[in-house]
Structures are given as C-alpha cells and as structure tokens.
Structure 1
C-alpha cells in the first residue's frame, strides 16, 4: 500500500477513534507484532495486545471533547509523521495534550513501529501556532 494512503487512513482513524475511545478500531491499524513507544523513557508496548492494554489504560480517566490531527508528512521508507491536539476533561478538570506521532508502515499499510512525543497542560489551550499543515 502507498505510504501516503496508509498515513492518511492512520490519522483519520486515530482522530475519530480517539474521540470515541474505540480501541478495536485503533488496533486494526497496527501489525500483529507492532512496537509502540508512548514516551521516550518508557518501555515500548510490543504487539497488539500490549498496545490495546495501554490504550485502555490511557483512555480510562479521559473524557475527550475534541481531537485534531494534521495532515501527515510522508517520507521515504514507509515513514510518516503527524501532529495531534486533544482537548479533554480528566478528573473534572480541562486539559490539553499536543504532540506528534512517527509511524513506519509495512507493505500492507499497517503500522509496524510508532513513536509518540507529547506534552500536556491544564485548560483547553491550543498549541502556539497551528498544527503543521492543518
């Protein structure tokens, strides 16, 4: 599958499924033996089962009000990157999360390796400047 097509599908599904906490839809984007790194100093989540458990844990306290992803930037070797911004309520308090995801796709268009970098802040704030290419 063309990397651009895979990347566009990836951000479209993530945008919708994150808002709905639809772990099943998200897991379908990943290869069975995927590796997901959610933070630079945290052990990676290996395989769909570990990733699904991490997502369920991440979504447990979060009530999403808005999710936005930028259009993906596509590079050589099946790699793409996209920025994201999420507004939510956690423990009754508004919060904003902004970051980016790096994805490497296999020939079937499934994510085999992903890496996130993100930051959170109190309140429903937009990142300084707009999301790249949004």
Structure 2
C-alpha cells in the first residue's frame, strides 16, 4: 500500500475509532510485531496485543470524545499526524493535543509509532 494512503487510513481510522471507542478498528492498523511508544519516557508496547491493552486502558474513564486528526505529512514510509481530543476524563473536561509519528510496512500496517501529547483541563 502506498504510504500516503496508509497514513490517511491511519488518521481516519484513529479519528473514528477514538470517537466511538472502537479499539478493534484501531488495533487492525498495526502489524503483529508493531511497537508503540506513548510519550518519550514510557516503555514501549511491543506487539499488537500490548498495543491493544494500551488503547483499551486509554479509553477507560473517557467519555464523549470529539477527535480530530490533521492531514498526515508523509516522507517515504513515515508520517507525522497531529491530533486533538476534547473529552471528559472521569467527569472532568479535558483537551488533549499531540502528534503521532508512524512508520508503515508495504501492506500499509503501522510497524512503529510514537506519540507526544499533553493534556489540560477544560476545552481549549
């Protein structure tokens, strides 16, 4: 799969999947042996199962998310994609803003991803 197509599919699926807490659709974007790092100093999640656990944990306590992903910036088989989420975390309104960096295999599956993000209370 063309990396631009893979990156746009990744952004669109994450936007829809996060909005609807559809972890399965998001997990299908990752290769079986993919590695995901959420924040630079956390240990990586290795393998689709560990990534699935992380995604489901991330959705716990979050309600009414409004999610937007920007158009991916693609170079070779890598993409950078900004995102913003307005939601409630255990009843408190929060805004999360960040960027995901992704590398794709020839089938369009993510093989390495890493996020940088920040949250603040309230909807910014």
Provide TM-score, normalisation by structure 2.
0.98
User: Are the equivalent residues in 2 in contact too, given 1:102–1:115 (CA < 8 A)?
Assistant: yes
User: Are the equivalent residues in 1 in contact too, given 2:27–2:48 (CA < 8 A)?
Assistant: yes
User: Aligned to 1:18, what secondary structure does the other structure show?
Assistant: helix
Structure 2: gaps of 5 or more residues: none
Let me know the Cα RMSD of the aligned residues.
Answer: 0.6
Match of 1:63 in 2: 63
What is the rounded CA distance, in whole Å, between the counterparts of 2:28 and 2:90 in structure 1? 29
Bigger strand fraction: 2
User: Are the equivalent residues in 1 in contact too, given 2:18–2:65 (CA < 8 A)?
Assistant: no
Provide TM-score, normalisation by structure 1.
0.91
User: Are the equivalent residues in 1 in contact too, given 2:6–2:109 (CA < 8 A)?
Assistant: yes
User: Aligned to 2:83, what secondary structure does the other structure show?
Assistant: strand
1:39 to partner: Cα distance:
1.1
Structure 1: gaps of 5 or more residues: 126-134
The answer on 1:34 being equivalent to 2:29 is no
User: Aligned to 1:71, what secondary structure does the other structure show?
Assistant: coil
Question: Structure 1 residue runs of 4+, over 3 Å off?
Answer: none
